[in-house]
Structure 1
Amino acid sequence: MAAAHGAWFTGDTSISTSYHVFYFLITNNPLDFGFPPPVCDQLALGVVAVFGPSHSSSVSAVQSICNALEVPHIQTRWKHPSVDNKDTFFINLYPEYTAIARAILDVVTFFKWRKLTVVYEDGTGLMRLQELIKAPAKFNLKIKIRQLTPGNQDARPLLKELKKDKEFFILFDCSYRMAAELLKQLSSMGMMTEYYHFFFTTLDLFALDLEPFRYSGVNMTGFRLLNVDDPRVASTMDKWATERLQGPKQESGLVDGIMTTDAALMYDAVFMVAVASQRATQMTVSSLQCHRHKPWRFGPRFMNLFKEVRWDGLTGHIVLNKTDGLRRDFDLDIISLKEDGTSRVSRGTSFPVQIAVWNSYRGMNLTEKSKRENNNNVTDSLANRTLIVTTILENPYVMQRKSDKELIGNDRFEGYCLDLLKELSNILGFTYEVRLVGDGKYGAQNDKGEWNGMVRELIDHVADLAVAPLTITYVREKVIDFSKPFMTLGISILYRKPNGTNPGVFSFLNPLSPDIWMYVLLACTGVSCVLFVIARFTPYEWYNPHQCNPSSTLIQNNFTLLNSFWFGVGALMRQGSELMPKALSTRIVGGIWWFFTLIIISSYTANLAAFLTVERMDAPIDSADDLAKQTRIEYGAVRDGSTMTFFKKSKISTYEKMWAFMSSRKNTALVKNNREGITRVLTTDYAMLMESTSIEYISQRNCNLTQIGGLIDSKGYGVGTPIGSPYRDKVTIAILQLQEEGKLHMMKEKWWRGNGCPEEDNKEASALGVENIGGIFIVLAAGLVLSVFVAIGEFIYKARKNADIEECVSFSSRMEELGMSLQCYKGIRRRSRPHSEARTACVLCQSKRTAKREGSRRDSSP
């Protein structure tokens, strides 16, 4: 019962030859308590410790006997927690099951797995993994649990289901013998690829023959308790291998000459008992009888030696809990299968590489070697690999190359994404094959939850990378992985460039609104009236018109009502009126009015240039809000694209309204691709919602199209990979390198730069035409015509005032004055004749006046 293969333990010179290790073979059947169990026969001969048994069904019986007789019972295998009742004389060198579960959870967290399938061999597996199964309540982890068929080593039906369900992260809780069979079956099922990650909980993964899978690219992780860095391990393994070579070989899946964890734990257990026996001086062995219940008197003392001393074994440091005898403060090596895994021990055996160390107290820590590997060149795992790249035709990202000769392979395409792919290939060292997506779609989810387009090809592992204008979205991130964005952008509106509207002849009035013009006129009228009243009220505006006659009682005021208005209008027009206020009060009115007119005229002049020199664009829409508020202009996006998904998932009221409009007209609003949408924008009254980078490219080459408004959202294009792909992080690092070197910007300039349309900001101001300022001439002509009529009226009024009642004199005087006024070469003329002279000039008129006066006298006489 002590240990299988126990004969070679006595070969260690550090173990006293005064003690012997006995081996008893116990079948897997439970002990029959109707007969004396073999352990009682050995106890009767006298023992210091009992090892085993290997089967859990016999543990309870052996533990009860040892506890009653106070003999140390040392176990080296996993023990059911219900058996652990904290017996005083029980020791277990196998790591505690809860600690193993915590180690598994830490590894899952380290790899950032979001989905995990647990495959267990027997019912004890669920007990060992309780901590992991409880994890989804705390971590963002989705766990599926499946069981291997009991008693059947053919797991291919289950593996086929896992492959069909696209379960790429699988944890196997099984023995190393079953693990060896699983590896063969996984290989035959075609699941040994870089997209799968297998996690084995057996502590003997390192002892399996993994060389056939070393270059498959598969990710394989496990634990190792055996301290292979200890020189004693190499020496002990040499002895172990020598003993094994002498006997018949078994098809166990183990590499020749490798010690299993069970054997190493048994070695440590026997070694620990032997050393403790040497330290326990004056200790004697007694014959013990199972039916007499007389305990061994040195049992408690011997047991304390185990719990109080720190032991160094093949499985590392051994520290026992004084309460329950379980092992604590131990280290687990986290190992991984690597192409360059060359950690070698004795006899040329290659082990998986240690990537981290997990401690039951301190948790997980990466090894220095693993840290250095993370900082090494990222080309290691991609060198000389050929990747399948899915993409979609979209200018200028991916375009068909034009050539007179027939092109094959990757030479058929050109564009921004092809240049990006070439740069990534140069950095990472891989080769690639470009394929167009089968259905010509980017990737969207239907009502059944099924995906299409490039996203579906990544999910199905038809392609390794998706290098295209593929938008990083939340729903896509749940089913595939993205690199860091190589381009940032947002959704905007593509629409026809509106024609410039010609300004009217009275466009010079546009710099100020009609309300301002009305307020200016009212202000001018009000200031004139206030000036008139104040000028009349203040005594300092009245003056003596006859300066040579100071005693004159006549005083005069220049600010009549008309002069006050003229003063206001002159100041507003930036002209003088030759009327100067004399009083302080009137000067205050004048100064404030001048300041007001200064601001108004300056503002008008500054705004006039913008209104008269730049043609205003009369666009029917200016933003997404304008689109949402109308139905005349139809709008939409690419069907099953990220833009459509954005409006479909948005909770903003404006965008919800826009999606309701688009979904109600799916047959016309949603287009198959950008090319179809651009054609509709040019030929119909249609606005296209698409990425700003595509709009920038299109508007550079078609001057009739432009971007309307700003960005509706902010997002980025990334390289898509299958979820859990080992290529994602490496592609991300390469993209960041290209960004820092400025190559991403250079590639964008190369493919986006166009020569068709001039920049609006660089357009020179055009000369003003009649259509711009023609209204000024109309106002001028109207003013001239008005002044002519006013002058005629003034002339007639003055002539009638100077003439007498007689019509002939009145007519002659008018003609005379008109004739003198029209003499262009004379600037001086005689004043009109007095009425007395006019009366003698015409006899006819004189007689008429005389007759009129006589008639008046007769009428007035009594």
Structure 2
Amino acid sequence: MKKVSLWLLNFFSITSSVVAVKFLDHYRIGGLFSDDIHKAAFQVVIDNLNKKWDTAPFFLIGDSLNVSFTNHFHVQKAACSLLDKRVIGIFGPSSRHTSSYIQSICDNKEIPQIETHYNPNVEKIQSDINLYPHAAEIAYFVMHLIREFTWDTIIILYENNDSLERIAPLLELNIEYGVQLVFRQLEVDQDGSYRAALKIIKKMSVTNILIECSLDILEEVLIESQKVGLITEKYRFIITNLDLSTLDLERFQYSGCNITGIRMFSTENENLIALAEKIKTTPHLIEEELELKRIMTLSTVLLIDGLNMFYDVIKELSEMSKIKAEKLKCHDAISWKYGSTIVNQLKSKVYQGITGRVSFDLAGFRRYFTLDLLELTTKGLLKVGQWDSEEKSLITDRSQVPQEESDVEHSIFNRTFRVLIVLTAPYAMLKESTDQLIGNDQFEGFCIDIIHELSVILGFNYTFIVQEDGKNGNLDRATNEWDGVIRQIIDGNADLGITDLTVTSDRERVVDFSLQFMNLGISILYRKPEPVPPSLFMFLSPFSTRVWLMLGVAYIFVSISIFIMGRLSPSEWTNPYPCVDEPEYLVNQFSIRNSLWFTIGGLLQQGSELAPIGISIRTASGFWWFFILIMVSSYTANLAAFLTVETRVTPFKNIDDLAKQTEIKYGAKRGGATASFFHDSNLTTNQIVYKHLKEHDDQMTDENEEGVRRVETENYAFLMESVTIEYNVARHCSLAQVGGLLDNKGYGIAMQKDSKYRNEISTAVVKLQETGVLTKLKIKWWKEQRGGSTCSIQSKKSEAEALDLQNVGGVFLVLFLGALLALLGSFIEMCVILYRKRKVYKKPFKYLLWKELEFFFQFGKNVKTVGRDEREPVSNQNNKVSF
């Protein structure tokens, strides 16, 4: 325990001449510090202020006390001694352990207290002003940064309870976003180092690390991390200590490790450097030979900003009204009447200092500030962005990052990549060979050829590794853990992963993808629709029902029109006996029956023995025949299509129809990207499909091949990616794709997050697209190799086939019905005539019918005798006119 030592700084010698002339007022401010740097800074800044504002109506006297870091009694005693000397404000202490005691004293006496360190114990500030950024705002920025980096699992290394309190808000990442947080304390081992704790981290698969510790141990933690192999290109660090820029990080600059840090001010500030030089030359520090960066810590700079801001406030108040300092005692109840005014003025003050904007909320907390985002490069720590706590926005600018780091032009050349594949046709398959093959020679397929083409362009080597469980990479949302190819890429067990690996937002959070080498979407695989049996009356199909009805109406209308025109036209009344010059009567050939017969003859393109004479009927007949020409031609052309083209009908046409029905089972690959699409989609139909998939796990499959087999053997539809459907349809001739694409996505090559080879590989993929190599490879593996031409050969057979009786059966039926009706009509006609002539013959109807039938069955007789009685008188003949 340190003894409390009083170090009184009297500036009467500096300002004695000024006092003698101008009789200036003086104000005393106190400082409670635990280290010599703060005491020296306190002295230098007050000295500069008194010299800078030589026209001010006052000058400052600084009393700084060297106090213990943890001894409450000694700190309290020092504070009371300052109050006895009429101080108008107290800076410090530098320890959170003793701060609450000083705060209670200052609140009781209404003396402004200015702090420059993190103090989690302050809940409501009365006389306390804390220039340190509010911990909650810093934590919010760190959360934003983690989400920006798309980290899904993080190891958080913390030093002690103080560190744990500062990072406690990060738990929201797990609650709100499902980010897995692994907390590990930086415990000292038997050797006095942190190596044992860091070795445990090394054995874990997580590569994202956040370090929250004090500046005292930060450098040692980084050095030990490098010794155990954590400072490599595989790992990514976020360091939350705001004094990271004060450390010498040269030994880590060329390790390839991604180290991100933050700061509130630039150590390259010229005014700050000049001030640090003065602080370094004070009597108490000159012997320690400190580096300038170790002097320019955040707490020191905040002390500088606090003194400048406090001076400005006192100057403004003294110009308005005189402030009178008072001697106070800790043991009485008397408080300073000007203290609350100064505190309120400080809270409302907006000051632009070395740490940027200094302002406070109503409670006295500093919530509005800016932070610089730093990144360790081969040139040291560089600013790559800035965070505004008020706007909650991060603006990044990597233009200052060395070119060799942001775009390594030849880094991929002659490198050997471990390429992870999944044995899925046609992307990667074992070669069908009688010889024993080893290494890369044992594989073939679309993705195998792509890697070969990329290696030719970029000049790298590769070794294929098979993903034994056959999984592309699924996220277990309960544990937030990945499996399959994605897990291997995250763990660094493979450099590249290529298969039918769909680029999704979840996967892009944990790995990087090249540009997509194949575009696709989700569709439905189902059996080819069965041909619809031809209808018996298919010959009626070329015209719709309305057209047939209108055709019938036109036939009746034209027939009646011809009948009327025939009656009106004089030309149609002709002499039945051309040899007689003056006939007794004229006849008209266009009776109702003949008009109907004439029109139907034209409709069937057969004509009749009737020949129109009148101009009007000939005109009407011409238009009727033209109409018939067009109608018959259209009917004939359309009939050919209906008789020769098979009509196929599917039980559903799209995903909406499939979701509404219950007879056909349907499913997808369990845990695949297709199932994830329906899980994440907001469309009502897709949510219905996802609910069905979730409730019917027995309809899900582990592999695509199982889904294809079930489609062939069951009443089952399988949801899968369109390119895989295309591959299977070319080999399973009974299958077909139903409906269009439900989404638009693609396959990409997976690699570790922030891989420096991503741009080169993506550029090479674009080159393969532009040169048509990818198209040729798809034709090769989809339509040529491994039975790709099976169904295409079958489809080349002649499509012209003989018509079956089912196709023309309706025509025969109409013929037979027509003949039967005509036969029945002739019998009825015979019966009607015999019935009429029963009185002429004076014979019963049955007798006459029997005689007629008896003659009918005498097939050898072709001549029928007509008696005189059977001739009708002239007056009974129709369509005759007597003159």
**How high is the TM-score relative to the length of structure 2?**
0.65
The CA deviation string for residues 437-482 of structure 1, in whole angstroms up to 9 with x for no partner, is 1123334578987865324434655334432112346876787676
Q: Which amino acid aligns with 1:457?
A: Q
SS for the counterpart of 1:337 is: strand
Identify if the C-alpha distance between structure 1 residues 234 and 718 changes in structure 2 by more than 3 Å, giving closer, same or farther: farther
CA contact (8 A) 2:417 2:462 kept: yes
Q: Residue in 2 aligned with 1:719?
A: 748
Q: Residue in 2 aligned with 1:74?
A: 114
Could you tell me how far apart the structure 1 residues matched to 2:712 and 2:262 are? 64
| Larger mean Cα displacement after TM superposition, 423-432 or 95-104 | 423-432
> Aligned pair count?
773
Alignment of 1:438 with 2:468, yes or no, is: yes
CA contact (8 A) 1:77 1:94 kept: yes
Alignment of 1:567 with 2:598, yes or no, is: yes
After TM superposition, the structure 1 = structure 2 runs for residues 33-48 of structure 1, keeping only pairs within 5 Å, are 37-41=77-81
After TM superposition, the structure 1 = structure 2 runs for residues 184-583 of structure 1, keeping only pairs within 5 Å, are 184=223, 186-187=225-226, 191-192=230-231, 196-235=235-274, 259-269=296-306, 288=327, 290=329, 315-317=354-356, 319=358, 321=360, 330-338=369-377, 340=378, 342=379, 350=380, 352-366=381-395, 368-370=397-399, 379=408, 388-400=418-430, 413-418=443-448, 420-421=450-451, 433-443=463-473, 452-458=483-489, 460-472=491-503, 485-492=516-523, 509=539, 512=542, 543-545=573-575, 552-560=583-591, 563-577=594-608, 579=610
Alignment of 1:748 with 2:775, yes or no, is: yes
1:593 CA drift (Å): 6.0
Residue in structure 2 matching 1:94, options 132, 148, 170: 132
Identify if the C-alpha distance between structure 1 residues 772 and 322 changes in structure 2 by more than 3 Å, giving closer, same or farther: closer
Alignment of 1:607 with 2:612, yes or no, is: no
CA contact (8 A) 2:725 2:737 kept: no
SS for the counterpart of 2:465 is: strand
1:750 CA drift (Å): 3.1
Could you tell me how far apart the structure 1 residues matched to 2:802 and 2:540 are? 16
CA contact (8 A) 1:480 1:720 kept: no
Alignment of 1:691 with 2:728, yes or no, is: no
Q: Which amino acid aligns with 2:142?
A: I
Identify if the C-alpha distance between structure 1 residues 132 and 562 changes in structure 2 by more than 3 Å, giving closer, same or farther: same
Q: Residue in 1 aligned with 2:56?
A: none
Q: Which amino acid aligns with 2:36?
A: A
After TM superposition, the structure 1 = structure 2 runs for residues 793-808 of structure 1, keeping only pairs within 5 Å, are none
Could you tell me how far apart the structure 1 residues matched to 2:660 and 2:398 are? 62
SS for the counterpart of 1:37 is: helix
CA contact (8 A) 2:258 2:375 kept: yes
Q: Residue in 2 aligned with 1:821?
A: none
The CA deviation string for residues 696-728 of structure 1, in whole angstroms up to 9 with x for no partner, is 34555x595663433463343333658x8224x
Identify if the C-alpha distance between structure 1 residues 519 and 119 changes in structure 2 by more than 3 Å, giving closer, same or farther: same
Could you tell me how far apart the structure 2 residues matched to 1:653 and 1:256 are? 59
Could you tell me how far apart the structure 1 residues matched to 2:557 and 2:287 are? 124
Q: Which amino acid aligns with 2:501?
A: L
Could you tell me how far apart the structure 2 residues matched to 1:15 and 1:521 are? 109
Could you tell me how far apart the structure 2 residues matched to 1:135 and 1:673 are? 35
1:522 CA drift (Å): 7.0
Could you tell me how far apart the structure 2 residues matched to 1:629 and 1:7 are? 79
Q: Which amino acid aligns with 1:92?
A: N
**How high is the TM-score relative to the length of structure 1?**
0.66
CA contact (8 A) 1:148 1:155 kept: no
SS for the counterpart of 1:601 is: helix
1:24 CA drift (Å): 3.7
Could you tell me how far apart the structure 2 residues matched to 1:20 and 1:354 are? 39
Could you tell me how far apart the structure 2 residues matched to 1:672 and 1:378 are? 40
1:205 CA drift (Å): 1.9
Identify if the C-alpha distance between structure 1 residues 424 and 580 changes in structure 2 by more than 3 Å, giving closer, same or farther: same
The CA deviation string for residues 82-118 of structure 1, in whole angstroms up to 9 with x for no partner, is 365331xx54332233443443344345445566676
Identify if the C-alpha distance between structure 1 residues 563 and 319 changes in structure 2 by more than 3 Å, giving closer, same or farther: same
The CA deviation string for residues 403-442 of structure 1, in whole angstroms up to 9 with x for no partner, is 9998765565454334544677789997654311112333
1:224 CA drift (Å): 0.9
Could you tell me how far apart the structure 2 residues matched to 1:661 and 1:123 are? 47
Could you tell me how far apart the structure 2 residues matched to 1:297 and 1:661 are? 73
Q: Which amino acid aligns with 1:718?
A: Y
1:510 CA drift (Å): 7.8
Q: Which amino acid aligns with 2:471?
A: K
Could you tell me how far apart the structure 2 residues matched to 1:709 and 1:771 are? 29
CA contact (8 A) 2:563 2:590 kept: no
SS for the counterpart of 1:440 is: coil
5+ residue gaps, structure 2: 1-31, 52-58, 831-854, 869-883
Q: Which amino acid aligns with 2:116?
A: T
Q: Which amino acid aligns with 2:748?
A: V
Alignment of 1:710 with 2:739, yes or no, is: yes
Identify if the C-alpha distance between structure 1 residues 133 and 638 changes in structure 2 by more than 3 Å, giving closer, same or farther: closer
CA contact (8 A) 2:520 2:744 kept: yes
CA contact (8 A) 2:150 2:510 kept: no
Could you tell me how far apart the structure 1 residues matched to 2:432 and 2:363 are? 78
Q: Which amino acid aligns with 1:358?
A: W
1:514 CA drift (Å): 11
Could you tell me how far apart the structure 2 residues matched to 1:516 and 1:726 are? 68
Q: Which amino acid aligns with 1:747?
A: L
Identify if the C-alpha distance between structure 1 residues 558 and 333 changes in structure 2 by more than 3 Å, giving closer, same or farther: same
After TM superposition, the structure 1 = structure 2 runs for residues 170-189 of structure 1, keeping only pairs within 5 Å, are 171-184=210-223, 186-187=225-226
The CA deviation string for residues 637-663 of structure 1, in whole angstroms up to 9 with x for no partner, is 767655577799997699689969996
Could you tell me how far apart the structure 1 residues matched to 2:349 and 2:862 are? 141
Identify if the C-alpha distance between structure 1 residues 659 and 581 changes in structure 2 by more than 3 Å, giving closer, same or farther: farther
Q: Which amino acid aligns with 1:454?
A: V
Alignment of 1:54 with 2:94, yes or no, is: yes
Q: Residue in 2 aligned with 1:148?
A: 185
SS for the counterpart of 1:389 is: strand
Could you tell me how far apart the structure 2 residues matched to 1:696 and 1:83 are? 65
Q: Which amino acid aligns with 1:198?
A: F
1:80 CA drift (Å): 3.7
Identify if the C-alpha distance between structure 1 residues 422 and 233 changes in structure 2 by more than 3 Å, giving closer, same or farther: farther
SS for the counterpart of 1:571 is: helix
RMSD: 6.6
Could you tell me how far apart the structure 2 residues matched to 1:326 and 1:654 are? 50
SS for the counterpart of 1:332 is: strand
The CA deviation string for residues 582-640 of structure 1, in whole angstroms up to 9 with x for no partner, is 7899789868865764554233222234356x663879888689999999999987676
CA contact (8 A) 1:209 1:255 kept: no
1:373 CA drift (Å): 8.0
| Larger mean Cα displacement after TM superposition, 293-302 or 684-693 | 293-302
Could you tell me how far apart the structure 2 residues matched to 1:584 and 1:642 are? 78
Could you tell me how far apart the structure 2 residues matched to 1:80 and 1:584 are? 114
